[in-house]
Amino acid sequence: MNHEERLPETPLGVTGGRSSLSTRAIVVVVVLVGFALATAIPAKQWIEQRDRIGILQNQLVATQAEVERLTAEAERWQDPAYVRARVRDRLFFVMPYEIGYIVIDTQRIEAIDQYVITQSQAPEVWYSTMFDSIKESAKTSAPTDEQ
């Protein structure tokens, strides 16, 4: 028998004192990081687009409600009785042989009176005072040479 000393058999992938497991782990990590980076931007864009779609759907609902409101208002304006009522309210028109009355709110009148300036309260402007003084000086008699 040949008693040669043999080295113990090593499992596959183990060379020297280092295992190839660490190399494989690095490759797996690099692949996972690459995958994460490759999918991050599209995922972000997808989320932003979903948010934008939600906003646009809300705007669409609001716009459709506004269109329905305006359509109903346009239909009301086709009715002559509605038009007559609006003209009477807004322009204070009356039908022939009717007497129109305008009721003024007393609180509003007090607020308006507070800011009304009458002619006696209006301050006189400088040029008016100057012209008045010129007119007054023209009215006085000029000095005579008869002394």
Structural contact between residues 46 and 40, judged by C-beta atoms closer than 8 angstroms: no
pLDDT value of position 97: 87
Strand, helix or coil for residue 14: strand
From first to last of the 147 residues of the chain, give the pLDDT tens digit. Answer: 555 556 555 555 555 555 667 888 899 999 999 998 888 889 999 999 999 999 999 999 999 999 999 999 999 999 999 999 998 888 888 888 888 887 776 666 665 555 555 555 556 788 888 888 888 888 766 666 654
Report the pLDDT value the prediction gives residue 115, as an integer from 0 to 100: 59
Stated pTM of the model: 0.41
Please give the angle made by the CA atoms of 114, 115 and 119, to the nearest 5 degrees: 110
Per DSSP, the three-state class of 123 is coil
The C-alpha R_g of the chain, in whole angstroms, comes to: 49
Per-residue pLDDT, 17: 55
